[in-house]
Structure 1
Amino acid sequence: MRSRPEAAELRAACLRAASALTEVSADWLALGTDRRVSGELSPRSAGSFAGFGVDVAVSLQDGAGRGGADEELPLPALIAGWLRERAGAAGVRMRLLDEDTSPAAARQVGVGLSNRSGDEPSGLLVLADGPRRFGEHEREGTPESAAELLRDGLAVPGSGKLDELDVDSARRSGVVGRAALQALSGLVGADDAAWRGELIHSAAPFGVGYHVAVWTRAEQPPR
């Protein structure tokens, strides 16, 4: 089955971003959100997209067995595993935050990641999507406003736009992964180095907003 052009463009943008991570490091940390599972998953985790209609098996680490793939692996972990394999990364540590984590707590997660980062380059994959432009999200939320915050926030690291999306607005507008995005904001805000961003894709195929960006940490000048 041939995919629709909108889906092909989104897939290409995601793979471009993932490949940029692999150029920095073969080992990633991924951040996402879920309502059932929180914390860091086992690096040996494997799963399948069968629950979403396509029986494609993925894993978070090279060499992880797929025979007992957990079809209930949260969607962000499945996508992280798929991108890891396609981009040629060796492994990805998947950390899930609760979807309703407060903005302040989410930013603190990012601050903690910044404090633990060493001198070695590392890749951080952040997974989120939305807003949704249909049903109750269109009637009760403000999807256009949320989309603007996401576009502007992802295009310019440290702009503070991602922090402006509160829990209620994100829920009503159908944004999934807000807390992961605000953890990213906290990480960059706690870093003394400059960051540059490139928004490489922004569209709403099938009524769902997808924004793909690559953020790169500038090298600090020698002291």
Structure 2
Amino acid sequence: MIVAAAVCPHPPLLLRELTGAQDVAAPLREACHGALAELTGAAPDRVVVVGGAGATAEHTDAPVPVHAHGGHGDRTAPQEALPLSLGVARRLLDESGCTLPVELRSVAHDAREAEIAALAGGIAGRRERVGLLVMGDGSARRSAKAPGHLDERAFAFDDTVHRALSEGDTGALAGLDPDLATELMVAGRAAWQVMAAAVDLEGVAVRAGVRYSDDPFGVQYLVGVWTCGS
């Protein structure tokens, strides 16, 4: 059973060695660590991580893709490193001192209903207590200097996600338009929908809240926690 879920974004700047002398992502990293503390505070037996990537797959521990995003150190072929979303999750868990077993699953950015349902079905309904860590960014088109430049539709889309995460509204997350999400460069759509589908399958009440919401680089970053059950 899913006992709690934490939602975190995965910008490369959460990898401290990429930020330079000034840690510009410190407040966001602190919020992520706080969400993970709440997640592990629910006493899960295992943490299942779901993050967007090029394809849906299960991953074993592999190098975090620091070099691919401008960091120093040994080069790692892309196929031998974790996808960025899972690499950031792995780093956050390590920094938080998590010693629980960790299961790493990617979901394709363009995944549709059947693929999302299949992944959710493999997470929900387990006998063990599951802590679900969901990695995903909002729109990257919230300012003229954003990676995708400005698209006014980004604000309404991100507001819908913010409200859904604040209220534990699985239906609102399930209803996100995948084509619009692609146009708005939303990296978290499929992962959020896996969480929503898995929680719906469990049929439990959710106590929800958002711990961080900001777009410092023209990309929407949300950190939230859902506690599941009575």
TM-score range, shorter chain: 0.7 to 0.9
Equivalent position SS for 1:28: strand
Equivalent position SS for 1:196: strand
**Shift of the alpha carbon at 1:102?**
0.8
The aligned length equals 202
Residues 56 and 105 in structure 2, CA contact (< 8 A), matched pair in contact too: yes
Equivalent position SS for 2:30: helix
Alignment counterpart, residue 194 of structure 2, candidates 149, 174, 183: 183
CA deviations on 1:186-214 (whole Å, 9 max, x unpaired) are: 11112232111111011111100000001
Cα-Cα RMSD: 2.3
Alignment pair present for 1:158 and 2:169: yes
Residues 201 and 213 in structure 1, CA contact (< 8 A), matched pair in contact too: yes
Alignment pair present for 1:25 and 2:58: no
Comparing 127-136 with 199-208, greater Cα deviation is found at 127-136
Alignment counterpart, residue 47 of structure 1, candidates 64, 71, 77: 64
Give 5+ residue unaligned stretches, structure 2: 1-20
Equivalent position SS for 1:96: strand
Distance 1:70 1:214, change over 3 A: farther
For normalisation by structure 1, the TM-score amounts to 0.81
CA deviations on 1:112-145 (whole Å, 9 max, x unpaired) are: 4213x21x32211000002112465634x71011
Equivalent position SS for 1:154: helix
Alignment pair present for 1:16 and 2:27: no
CA deviations on 1:142-161 (whole Å, 9 max, x unpaired) are: 10111111101111113411
Alignment counterpart, residue 114 of structure 1, candidates 115, 124, 137: 124
The corresponding residue for 2:93 is: 84
Alignment counterpart, residue 99 of structure 1, candidates 104, 109, 131: 109
Alignment pair present for 1:3 and 2:15: no
For normalisation by structure 2, the TM-score amounts to 0.79
Distance 1:48 1:174, change over 3 A: closer
Paired residue type of 1:130 = G
Residues 46 and 129 in structure 2, CA contact (< 8 A), matched pair in contact too: no
Alignment pair present for 1:216 and 2:227: yes
Give 5+ residue unaligned stretches, structure 1: 57-66
Alignment counterpart, residue 128 of structure 1, candidates 125, 136, 140: 136
Equivalent position SS for 2:29: helix
Aligned partners of 1:193 and 1:75: how far apart in 2? Answer: 31
Residues 49 and 103 in structure 2, CA contact (< 8 A), matched pair in contact too: yes
The corresponding residue for 1:64 is: none
Residues 147 and 218 in structure 2, CA contact (< 8 A), matched pair in contact too: no
* Larger RCO: 1 or 2 (CA < 8 Å, sep 6+): 2
Comparing 44-53 with 75-84, greater Cα deviation is found at 44-53
Aligned partners of 1:190 and 1:137: how far apart in 2? Answer: 37
CA deviations on 1:25-77 (whole Å, 9 max, x unpaired) are: 36311001112x431001x3233412212348xxxxxxxxxx89666421012
Distance 1:75 1:138, change over 3 A: same
The ranges of structure 1 where at least 4 consecutive aligned residues each deviate by more than 6 angstroms after the TM superposition are none
